[in-house]
């Protein structure tokens, strides 16, 4: 008889999770429609407090209007806002898109910079957005932590969940850098499909049941 893994060990849980998610999601397509680093950057900015599905409905008319920094810099903030309004926070996002487009032209020869520091200096671009662009546009190992990843990492006891910054640190320590870019997408996919905010409380989905078969109480996610 094969002995069950010792899931009391955090590295053992991480290894099992990595294997299961790779089997479930061998391919990791980026959920946001885009054609290059610039359109990905704008799409990720738009996705703050908005679903990827809605962003993908909003971006085609935005790209039809302007899909390069040079073209976007010629568009008024009001025009941008009128298109992206369904995404929410449209006044701030429209100003950020206009502002970062001008900065890319003035300071980066119209190209999206390839460092975290330069990306995070752009209007509306925080660490998570920069991490998505660095990982998915440029292939640099990064582990962007969204609400799904933050929730799952707590339910699977991979982090204490104190905040998303700590969750990112803990996950980077548990998984090899060459896994990060695909794994963060796999965790998002699993969090949307199986270990959802309301559909699983840490006791229902397959991974939660396997890792914690004796768990009786729901896991309360720290924000």
Positions marked active-site:
128, 146
130: which 2 tokens?
């920069």
105: which 2 tokens?
């032209």
Confirm if 33 and 46 have CB atoms less than 8 A apart.
no
148: which 2 tokens?
């799904």
The C-alpha atoms of residue 168 and residue 139 are separated, in whole angstroms, by 18
Going through 21-71 in order, the beta strands assigned E by DSSP cover none
48: which 2 tokens?
């703050």
Confirm if 210 and 16 have CB atoms less than 8 A apart.
yes
């Amino acid at each position: 008889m094969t002995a069950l893994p010792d899931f009391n060990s955090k590295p053992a849980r991480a290894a099992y999770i990595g294997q299961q998610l790779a089997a479930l999601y061998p391919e990791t397509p980026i959920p946001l429609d885009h054609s290059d680093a610039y359109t990905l950057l704008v799409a990720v900015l738009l996705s703050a407090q908005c679903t990827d599905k809605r962003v993908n409905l909003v971006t085609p008319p935005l790209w039809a209007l302007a899909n390069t920094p040079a073209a976007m810099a010629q568009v008024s903030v009001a025009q941008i806002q009128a298109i992206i309004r369904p995404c929410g926070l449209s006044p701030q996002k429209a100003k950020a898109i206009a502002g970062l487009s001008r900065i890319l032209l003035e300071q980066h020869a119209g190209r999206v910079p390839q460092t975290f520091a330069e990306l995070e200096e752009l209007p509306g671009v925080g660490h998570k957005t920069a991490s998505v662009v660095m990982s998915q546009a440029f292939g640099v190992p990064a582990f962007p932590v969204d609400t799904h990843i933050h929730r799952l990492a707590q339910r699977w006891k991979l982090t204490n969940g104190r905040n998303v910054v700590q969750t990112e640190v803990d996950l980077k320590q548990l998984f090899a850098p060459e896994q990060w870019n695909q794994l963060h997408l796999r965790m998002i996919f699993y969090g949307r499909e199986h270990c959802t905010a309301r559909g699983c409380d840490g006791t229902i989905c397959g991974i939660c049941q396997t890792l914690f078969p004796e768990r009786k109480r729901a896991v309360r996610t720290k924000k």
